[in-house]
Amino acid sequence: MPTENDIERGTRLALYKSLLEIRLLEKRAYDLFLQNLVKGTSHLSLGQEAVAAGFAVAMRKDDFTFCTYRGHAHTLARGVSMAGLLGELMGRSCGLMQGKGGSMHLTSVEHGAMGSYAIVGAHLPVAAGAAWSAQYRGSGQVAVCFFGDGTANIGAFHEALNFAVVWKLPVVFVCENNLYMEYTPIRSVTAVEHPAADRAAAYGLPSVIVDGNDADAVYRIARSSIGKAREGAGPSLIEAKTYRTSGHSRADPGKYRPPGELDEWARRDPVALYRSRLLGQDFAEATLQELEKTVQRAVDEATETAKASAPASLDVIERDVWADGGASWRS
């Protein structure tokens, strides 16, 4: 059984720093939307920060992350620059893809962030393929694939799980169950209570459910499942129970939530819970305040850098998006 002392103090500070970075950057992204500096839609991870932080801190630098269109948190947690991320959201040349990809397509191969995927479930087979590559090359790398609860009801989920088990691939599938498929409660369209964990037995995997708002709990299960994969013992399927405190996307006011639900989950805020835990483990208030100020300064500086960056150039925006239908482009 895990104890309070099984996670080093330096790791705990790294977890809190990651939680803060995600929370403050996501809040800043929302502010920039209100200023009309971010075009199109976006999907924030406010309330879900512990899943991204817990896994990223447990991963090796050369491991792979695959995530959904709700990918700001996972991309940032892998170590990309805040200016690069905000710049991409704002369509600026300093962005991760020089402003071409935007909020839903964040990618940084250098940091192992292998893309945010706008098509639901499309990345699960791709993550299995990356794991197969690592297995074939004997690199020891592990692919960690994050997806929403609704993805557990589509074919790609089952196909990827099946082959991952058959081939004992070094991949960890993580369902971020935030209770809603966009605006539809997952429980109203799913035959089982736990959309991912209750399907695990069909593929010979144990049912694993973790408190997705507890960064320590997520880190522990990440550490063990990634270690299992790296040792050649095959994949894992994990269901992290969490909650997004914002709407599904920019346009969603969240009026479909039952009364009191948001308040109940707000009392389980992952950032506030972790801060309180650190104080209970004799971390000094001054230490936490200094870390909080440092992260806030970094967000502020990244914001100004992104604002000052030039918009994405037309040659970047128009590259690789046009085919004239003739024979020449096929070769």
Could you give the CA distance from residue 205 to residue 168 in angstroms, rounded to a whole number?
11
Q: Given this model, what pLDDT does residue 319 score?
A: 85
Considering all CA atoms of the chain, what is the largest pairwise distance in Å, rounded to the nearest integer? 68
Q: Report the share of the chain in percent with pLDDT over 70.
A: 96
Q: Given this model, what pLDDT does residue 3 score?
A: 65
Tens digit of each residue's pLDDT (9 = 90 or more) over 116-168? 999 999 999 999 999 999 999 999 999 999 999 999 999 999 999 999 999 99
Contacts of 237 (CB under 8 A, 6+ apart): 161, 173, 175, 196, 197, 199, 200, 203, 205, 208
Q: Given this model, what pLDDT does residue 317 score?
A: 86
- Residue 1 binned pLDDT confidence (cut-offs 50, 70, 90): low
Q: Given this model, what pLDDT does residue 5 score?
A: 82
Among 87, 62, 66, residue whose Cα is nearest residue 164 = 66
Query: Mean pLDDT throughout 106-119?
Result: 96
Kindly report the pTM of this predicted structure.
Answer: 0.94
Q: Given this model, what pLDDT does residue 4 score?
A: 72
Q: Beta 64-68 vs 208-211: how paired, if at all?
A: unpaired
Among 208, 197, 286, 248, residue whose Cα is nearest residue 48 = 248
Domain ranges (residues) in the chain: 4-306
Q: Given this model, what pLDDT does residue 225 score?
A: 98
What are the CA-CA distances from residue 280 to residues 4, 213, 285 (Å)?
A: 11, 18, 10
Tens digit of each residue's pLDDT (9 = 90 or more) over 56-79? 999 999 999 999 999 999 999 999
For domain 4-306, give its CATH number from 3.40.640.10, 3.20.20.220, 3.40.50.970, 3.60.15.10.
3.40.50.970
Q: Given this model, what pLDDT does residue 303 score?
A: 98
Q: Give the chain's mean pLDDT.
A: 94
Instruction: Decide which of 136 and 318 is more confident.
Output: 136
Q: Is the pLDDT of residue 309 over 80?
A: yes
Q: Given this model, what pLDDT does residue 228 score?
A: 98
